[in-house]
């Protein structure tokens, strides 16, 4: 999906915005390239790519002039031509996506000063439109179908790696394009590590199994976490699970456009702290996601800014008891129409397999 017109409307005093990051280029024109550039000016836009992508780009990109590099005329040369021919006096660039050397080289090549303009795309990308949300939801439904099947095979004797492999296989099978991130599957004491890596640890009766995973559709990411029990749970395990679920529901209730990110976090954190587990919840309540799995803004203590209309954020509180077990439950929320729509449909009550 293209966002050229949205970028043009947001340029303000920037004569032309130069994009070199593949994710930024994809946001602009809806087409993914690993190398190249895009230029978006107020009344025109260009995509610069090479022979690997040119045929597909010419078919897919309709609101940019598509230009192809050659051995004698690379990206830098074409960018220089565009700026010379159109007389742009300066260029906007994404300061958070360029190294100092790349920034200096681009200024020299274009012959005009660069201005920091990352905020143009950051502001737009934070507010998802319906088409973006539809892609996120499609990715989520694929992940949920994979989870539903994998819940039927989890049993004592399987390893964390085996469960991770089953999730990945099924997400690809049902239409996922790629993993949103390397899946987290941890069991037993390993589940106390929020970003534990799947290993050869074997699932045992009485263990929690935490699965944090997602897939991509049209380039957009899904993200979910479910913690399930195998065989039985102790009273402590049930108390922790119920506390995490209550914290998530409290954060979801507080989430809405205009609410500071830290207030959403605090609503969930307070439930956990009041239950006596405050020391065991060390990360933020949630992060934004879209073309990247972690985007801004987040529902975290440091964010005192109001959450924007259209943001898609995770809702993922957790409690992690070192050496014992951990619980995390994660959904995705779309903040719009004065509230939070939960995009995740997978059950989240305690499941004992």
Residue at 347 is within a domain: no
Q: How far is CA 132 from CA 31, 139, 223, 286, in A?
A: 14, 11, 15, 19
What distance in Å separates the CA atoms of residue 18 and residue 86, rounded to the nearest whole number? 14
DSSP one-letter code for 103: H
Residue 151, domain member (yes or no): yes
**Nearest CA among 61, 38, 53 for reference residue 120:** 38
Handedness of CA 318, 241, 320, 200 (dihedral sign): negative
Average pLDDT of the residues of the chain: 97
Domain with residue 288: its CATH number is: 3.90.230.10
What is the model's pLDDT at position 238? 98
Residue 118: count other Cβ atoms within 10 Å of its Cβ: 17
**pLDDT tens digits for 39-50?**
999 999 999 999
What six digits make up the tokens of 73? 């005329």
The answer to the question of residue 272 being in a domain is yes
3-state secondary structure labels for all residues of 303-345: CCCECCCCCEEEECCEEEECCCEEEECEEEEEEECCEEEECCC
- Whether 196 and 317 share a structural domain: yes
* Cβ atoms of 57 and 36 closer than 8 Å: no
pLDDT of residue 93: 97
Q: Is residue 353, in this structure, part of any structural domain at all?
A: no
Residues 108 and 149 in one domain: no
- The reply to whether 118 and 162 lie within a common domain is no
Q: For residue 351, tell me if it sits in a domain.
A: no
Domain end, chosen from 73, 105, 125, is at: 125
Asked if 221 and 141 sit in the same domain, the reply is yes
Q: What pLDDT, in 10s, does the model give residues 230-283?
A: 999 999 999 999 999 999 999 999 999 999 999 999 999 999 999 999 999 999
Residue from 163, 222, 171, 214 nearest 188 by CA:
163
Whether residue 177 is found in the same domain as residue 270: yes
Q: Where are the beta strands (DSSP E) in the chain?
A: 16-19, 37-41, 45-49, 65-68, 91-93, 114-116, 184-187, 208-213, 216-217, 220-221, 224-229, 286-288, 295-299, 312-315, 318-321, 325-328, 331-336, 339-342
For 283-328, the pLDDT digits (tens) are 999 999 999 999 999 999 999 999 999 999 999 999 999 999 999 9
What integer is the mean pLDDT of 325-349?
97
Distance CA 190, CA 193 (A): 6
CA distance 27 to 182: 23
pLDDT of 265? 98
For residue 246, the cross-strand partners are none
Domain boundary among 95, 125, 155: 125
For 289, the 3-state DSSP assignment is coil
**Among the three residues 70, 105, 125, which one is the final residue of a domain in this structure?**
125
pTM of the model: 0.96
238 is in which domain, residue-wise? 130-342
| 320 in the same domain as 215 | yes
Based on the domain organization, do 219 and 325 belong to the same domain?
yes
Closest CA to 187 of 209, 215, 218, 213: 209
Whether residue 286 is found in the same domain as residue 327 = yes
Report if residue 266 sits inside a domain. yes
Per the domain annotation, does 349 fall within a domain?
Answer: no
Residue 88 sits in the same domain as residue 167: no
Helices 261-274 & 235-254 angle (0-180, nearest 10): 150
Q: Are residues 106 and 156 in the same domain?
A: no
Tokens of 42: 């107020």
Considering the domain architecture, whether residues 159 and 51 belong to the same structural domain is answered as no
Same domain membership, residue 163 and residue 73: no
Structure confidence at residue 217 as a pLDDT band (50, 70, 90):
very high
Tell me the CATH number at 93: 3.40.350.10
Q: What is the pLDDT of residues 115-132, one digit of tens each?
A: 999 999 999 999 999 999
Q: Is residue 350 part of a domain?
A: no
Work out how many domains the chain is built from and give that number.
2
What residues have CB less than 8 Å from 343, skipping those under 6 apart? 133, 136, 137, 140, 312, 331, 332, 333, 334
In DSSP notation, 1-60 reads ---HHHHHHH-TT-SEEEE-SHHHHHHHHS---SS-EEEEESS-EEEEE-TTTHHHHHHH
């Amino acid at each position: 999906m293209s966002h050229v017109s949205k970028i043009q409307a947001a340029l303000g005093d920037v004569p032309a915005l130069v994009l070199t990051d593949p994710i930024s280029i994809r946001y602009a024109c809806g087409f993914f390239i690993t190398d190249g550039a895009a230029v978006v000016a107020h009344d025109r836009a260009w995509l610069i790519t090479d022979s690997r992508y040119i045929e597909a780009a010419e078919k897919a990109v309709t609101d940019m002039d598509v230009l192809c590099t050659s051995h004698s005329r690379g990206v830098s040369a074409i960018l220089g031509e565009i700026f010379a021919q159109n007389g742009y006096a300066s260029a906007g660039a994404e300061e958070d996506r360029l190294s100092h050397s790349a920034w200096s080289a681009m200024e020299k090549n274009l012959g005009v000063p660069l201005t920091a303009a990352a905020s143009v795309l950051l502001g737009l990308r934070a507010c998802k439109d319906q088409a973006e949300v539809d892609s996120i939801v499609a990715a989520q439904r694929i992940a949920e179908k994979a989870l539903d099947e994998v819940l039927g095979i989890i049993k004592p004797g399987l390893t964390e790696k085996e469960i991770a492999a089953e999730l990945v296989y099924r997400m690809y099978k049902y239409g996922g394009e790629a993993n949103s991130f390397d899946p987290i599957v941890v069991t037993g004491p390993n589940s106390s590590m929020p970003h534990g890596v799947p290993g050869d640890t074997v699932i045992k009766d009485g263990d929690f199994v935490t699965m944090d995973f997602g897939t991509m559709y049209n380039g957009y990411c899904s993200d979910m976490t479910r913690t399930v029990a195998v065989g039985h749970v102790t009273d402590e395990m049930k108390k922790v699970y119920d506390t995490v679920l209550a914290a998530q529901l409290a954060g979801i209730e507080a989430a809405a456009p205009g609410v500071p990110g830290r207030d959403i976090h605090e609503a969930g954190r307070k439930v956990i702290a009041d239950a006596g587990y405050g020391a065991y919840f060390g990360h933020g309540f949630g992060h934004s996601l879209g073309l990247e799995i972690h985007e801004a803004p987040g529902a975290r203590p440091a964010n005192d800014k109001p959450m924007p209309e259209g943001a898609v954020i995770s809702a993922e509180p957790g409690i992690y008891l070192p050496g014992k077990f951990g619980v995390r439950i994660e959904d995705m929320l779309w903040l719009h129409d004065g509230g939070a729509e939960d995009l995740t449909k997978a059950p989240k009550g305690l499941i004992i397999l």
